[in-house]
Structure 1
């Protein structure tokens, strides 16, 4: 009886605590924005990794295709060389029997055969040359087949990485959207107005007449990026209808006749690193531990593809994140 009474008392106490516990507070608009901004940073990093995996996959597929074509052609050449030796054997047979050296070749590996110096003495110079060609072709084919096999394994790993990063992007985007859904319509409108005002003010401050571009190609890239204002951010986008951050910078420089790599992690090595005080319009600017890249437009302003749900726009460097360094192409 005592045990039952004690258990009942404990249950009542727990019920009372639950009833008196303070309800979980709804995050404020600013807290939601901070969390969403962090998620979007993660999205950009995952997108960049996915872009890198995508580029590697395409490169490997081309390399594998080339190797396989070479192997096919090499096999045809090898077959022709073997056919030539076979014809020589047939001619010898018709004239009174197959030379022992030819007979040995037809039944053994040329590598093993050519290692026997005594056997070579029994061959004509033409036959020696033919066998050496066969030996070289077989070695080349073996190396190419091994290289293709290794690249196919690398390709399988790369495809797995790409799938994982795409899945991570979708997961982060879903988490961000879930947070945004906790805001009221008024709170969402207030956030949108805050960002629109910051973007508009940044655009109004751009005046390339006050700051000389780093180079003609930098000026051309900046002009190209400017022409894309209003195009949506899409993870993996590389133009001309949508962009992610590094997709925009790559596309802009391509319009200036300059080829740069696809991701922020590689674009940092496409030019000369410079500090903030050295920035000139057209320079690449990196933020958030290589999590983001844009084009410096002058007056402490960047034109960039910000993050999902937004469009290519001008924005003050102070609102983008932690500046890392610039790169002059």
Structure 2
């Protein structure tokens, strides 16, 4: 009978040991990938330090603001497309009424011609009891024929114009749908970035959140000083009269009053001072992407609303606002100038002097005063 021998234990050396180590490392790498996300971005890793969380959140806010400005631009274009479409539809309706009126006129002429009979003019003249009267009638009929030809021409013109307007409306409707798709895409990007930022911040301890809030609020000096504004001090009320309070006056160094006998509303720098006054009254207002006031703003929405209150119409987006006035060097900044940040021109504030600006930072901070050095400076423009 064959002997049953116990198999010898193999030592984990050579190729077998390397294979086991590879499997273990692969498992560790998979776990690390799961923790950080397939795209390599740290998703709310509880091991991140406070500075790392802040850096990641700031990056997400910057990316969300880029998408916000694209959303604002697409919304502006969608609004314009919708207005054009409505205008085309109104004009098409008017043209349709004119075309229907022309058709009715043609129908009346055709009925009259039918009632007069179809005999040839020579036969009608021969059979007429009163040739002279017939000839007068024939001349009238000829003129009626001319009117009929003219009516046909008008109807054709109205029909061609109606078809042109309907074609233009179809094109505009396609454009509008494309803009709406673009809006939804940007909205999804924004909400995704902001949601990821919230998830990161939610992993912080209460002490860390307090430290982060102190760091964020410490740079502005005036960030929340007007968070409980009265109705009279709300941005929607516009700049207050001179002497109504500290927010009414322009920043130090900004021009005031009349110049060379001009009314104050026409003096150089008056509009810039009025825009700054509006922005000061907006201090403490929440940041809401896509908002243009009076109770919430995004960065370009605050700038647009402030200058609108001063009688200056600005475009909606940062990358259009920088071209709305003439460029100025950083060394030549004056109160009221628009200051832009990041390489994509995705953020803007209103300069108030002494290296400070008023801006709407991001969803974690309200409208506030901040140094222009806290972000990468990209350029400046003077619009008033």
TM-score bin, normalised by smaller chain? 0.7 to 0.9
CA-based RMSD of the aligned residues comes to 3.2
> CA contact under 8 A between 1:92 and 1:98: conserved in structure 2?
no
Structure-2 change in CA distance of 1:19 and 1:55 (3 Å): closer
> CA contact under 8 A between 1:286 and 1:324: conserved in structure 2?
yes
> CA contact under 8 A between 1:221 and 1:256: conserved in structure 2?
yes
Q: How does 1:133-282 map to 2 (within 5 A)?
A: 133-200=154-221, 208-212=251-255, 215-282=269-336
> CA contact under 8 A between 2:290 and 2:301: conserved in structure 1?
yes
> CA contact under 8 A between 1:285 and 1:327: conserved in structure 2?
no
Aligned to 2:134: none
> CA contact under 8 A between 2:254 and 2:269: conserved in structure 1?
no
1:328 aligns to 2:383 (yes or no): yes
Deviation, 1:143, is 1.1
Q: How does 1:11-30 map to 2 (within 5 A)?
A: 12-14=20-22, 26-30=47-51
Q: Would you tell me which structure has more helix in proportion to its own residues?
A: 1
Deviation, 1:131, is 2.0
Give the number of the structure whose alpha-carbon radius of gyration is greater. Answer: 2
> CA contact under 8 A between 1:274 and 1:328: conserved in structure 2?
no
CA–CA distance in structure 2, aligned partners of residues 211 and 153 of structure 1: 48
CA–CA distance in structure 2, aligned partners of residues 19 and 91 of structure 1: 94
Aligned to 1:285: 339
CA–CA distance in structure 2, aligned partners of residues 300 and 71 of structure 1: 55
Comparing 318-327 with 40-49, greater Cα deviation is found at 318-327
Deviation, 1:266, is 1.7
CA–CA distance in structure 1, aligned partners of residues 116 and 173 of structure 2: 49
Gaps of at least 5 residues in structure 2 are 1-6, 36-44, 121-141, 226-248, 257-267
Gaps of at least 5 residues in structure 1 are 100-120
CA–CA distance in structure 2, aligned partners of residues 14 and 313 of structure 1: 54
Describe the SS at the equivalent of 2:95.
helix
CA–CA distance in structure 2, aligned partners of residues 68 and 77 of structure 1: 14
Describe the SS at the equivalent of 1:199.
coil
Q: How does 1:305-320 map to 2 (within 5 A)?
A: 305-320=360-375
CA–CA distance in structure 1, aligned partners of residues 27 and 168 of structure 2: 68
Comparing 26-35 with 301-310, greater Cα deviation is found at 26-35
CA–CA distance in structure 2, aligned partners of residues 86 and 151 of structure 1: 34
Deviation, 1:56, is 1.6
Deviation, 1:37, is 1.0
Describe the SS at the equivalent of 1:326.
strand
Structure-2 change in CA distance of 1:14 and 1:182 (3 Å): farther
CA–CA distance in structure 1, aligned partners of residues 80 and 205 of structure 2: 47
Aligned to 1:94: 115
TM-score (norm 1): 0.83
> CA contact under 8 A between 1:208 and 1:298: conserved in structure 2?
yes
> CA contact under 8 A between 1:212 and 1:280: conserved in structure 2?
no
Aligned to 2:128: none
